A and B are shown apart, each in its own frame.
Chain A
Amino acid sequence: MKILVTAKRVTDPDAKIRVKPDGTGIETAGLEYKLNPFCENAIEAAVSLIEKHTGEVVAVTIGNADVEQNLRAALAMGCDRGIRVDIADDQLDSDLAARILAKVYEAEKPDLFLFGKQAVDGDSNQVTQLVAEYLDLPQACFASSITIENGEAVVLREVDGGLETIAVKLPAVISADLRLNTPRLPTLPNVLKAKRKPLQVLTPAALGVDTALKVATVAYEAPPQRKGGIKVKTVQELVEKLRNEAKAL
């Protein structure tokens, strides 16, 4: 079995993000970058599925040369090789990322294409579903369990109101939710091994993708800040304030 999996780079999910005063983007000085946590879930799923079913895991990312560090982190988790498509993050929208990834799929022809449910910088939650439609493949998004049997993936999905199970015939597109697994930490030998794993660089032009955007971000600002209130000393005081001041009881 061959699995293609995304390794998107994001700003450290726990970093305090600040907007540049001129509103053209975020302050990047001193920011650290990590693998998108949801991609880590997807990579863990890909690697453990291949450990069980044998085959190859190919990690793919879109971004400038500086995202290669995070692609190497995916290789250190056990992916066999990497592909980077060279275009700067700020020249992408979800649709272009999806059209690029659909082309990589066509070049690789995997049995399964695994994604993270959402990139925690842009918070769009679109790319997986867009890719599925562009490729006319079945999708199973927000997976908290994946079982491959008889040429299909049986997927437990985290949805409003409970848990849903659907089955999608391979090849299929699946996005990982947080409960899918606990991503492994790369061991030092695997980090060293990852440095020698093959890494291919492609361009949107070589893939034949038109880089025009459908959605452009024109301004960034800090949202209105909520002011902290007061500390109450006792439960009685809390109830009194809620009753008489906030009128919430």
Chain B
Amino acid sequence: MGTILVIAETFGGKLRKSTLNAITFARTLSGKTGGDFAIGIIGSGIAAVGGELAGYGAKGVYVIDNPGFASYLAAPYAKAVVALADQVGATQVAATSSTFSRDLLPRVAARMGAGMVSEVVAVVGDGAGVKFQRPMWAGNVLATVEVKSPKAVFSVRGTEFDAAGPSGGASPVQTVAIAPDADANQRYVKFEPVVSSRPDLAEASVVVAGGRGLKDKAGFAILDPLADLLKAAIGGTRAVVDAGIAPNDLQIGQTGKVIAPNLYIGVALSGAIQHLAGMKASKTIVAINKDPEAPIFSISDYGLVADAFKAVPELIEEIRKLKGA
């Protein structure tokens, strides 16, 4: 029933791959309720992204390409999303959870008069009885929620919905003329990117994460050669971000990034519930900690009680031998 509008996310004019996870959610939900989905893209100089999304089975791909949308600001973007939803007859809006969608979607919901479900991890039931599961209390509770309003907005947890593959066919790609109003209430000033040659933390298949036990920037840097060797992303706990050892973008956890790599190696971090909330869906978990009682060991597949400053160089050495490098 109804159309789900998936909002694509772009970064520097390019599609963020995480968009594909929300497409899987839209396929799942529309499959259960007998509706369809459309894809919306907002930005400036992003016309090419429309074509990239034409092969995923959407009833249409709608591109709002306007210099006024060059920089993201919540209020004008929310207006544009709702105008687009109205235009394509969408009663539901969804996007993969990120700082972009977390900032934007609630505004969209208020504007549409829709209830919003944050961080959906599963769709249960079907037809009019469809419900949604979402984590609460740092992932210690799984709640089932029902949307009572006729319209609904969803942020989708990317780790729980696989990236959609192309489904063949070609959705019509259409340019939509929606422009932002002149607005003196908010202005974009600047963006200071964290420049890194490593894979994106949210998308990496191997993640090496460090905690307070690494002490300082120099200590944290022992993870670099390990990450190089494993082509891994680097992440950290709140403790190392608060201490300025790692940038905010690398915080894994309840209030940071949620990841589920194939292999997660946690080094000198205790495994506080807020941290576990962001990584416990990882396929294989390794922990290195000098305290045998550290909570991280209770969810680790392989735990090594050792001093990180000794164990990490050894680990690098062993993996080098293995890889013949």
**A interface residue numbers (CB < 8 A to B):** 11, 13-14, 16-19, 26, 38, 93-95, 98, 117-118, 120-130, 132-134, 136-142, 144, 154, 157-169, 172, 177-179, 212-223, 226, 228-232, 234-236, 238-239, 241-243, 246, 248-249
Contacts and interface: CB of A to CB of B under 8 A. Distances in A.
Contacts of B301: 229-230, 246
16 contacts: A13-B274, A26-B141, A123-B137, A125-B102, A133-B110, A165-B189, A165-B191, A166-B73, A168-B185, A172-B185, A218-B144, A222-B142, A231-B303, A231-B305, A238-B302, A248-B262
Name the residue in A14, A142, A215 with the highest tally of chain B Cβ atoms < 10 Å from its Cβ: A215
Given A26-B137, A221-B141, A249-B322, A162 B193 contact: yes
A128 B304 CA distance: 42
A39 to B, nearest CB: 13
A149 B203 CA distance: 39
Interface of B: 11, 73-75, 78, 98-100, 102-107, 109-111, 114-119, 131, 135-149, 184-194, 202, 206, 230, 238, 241-242, 247-249, 254-255, 257, 262-263, 272-274, 280, 283-286, 292, 297-306, 311, 314-315, 318-319, 322
B99 A163 contact: no
A123 B135 contact: yes
Contacts of A134: 110
Q: Is the interface of A mostly helix, strand, loop or mixed?
A: mixed
A129 B107 contact: yes
Contact of A248 (B98, B254, B284): B284
A125 B107 CA distance: 11
B207 to A, nearest CB: 12
A138 B109 CA distance: 16
A166 B187 CA distance: 6
A161 B249 contact: yes
Contacts of B144: 217-221
A-B CB proximity, top 10 nearest: A214-B115, A129-B106, A133-B110, A229-B301, A138-B186, A165-B189, A215-B115, A126-B106, A214-B149, A162-B193
Given A118-B255, A161-B249, A239-B319, A17 B107 contact: no
Contacts of A132: 74-75, 107
Nearest to A182: B242
Contacts of A120: 137-138, 254-255
Contacts of A157: 99
Contact of A95 (B110, B202, B292): B110
A132 B292 CA distance: 47
A134 B302 CA distance: 49
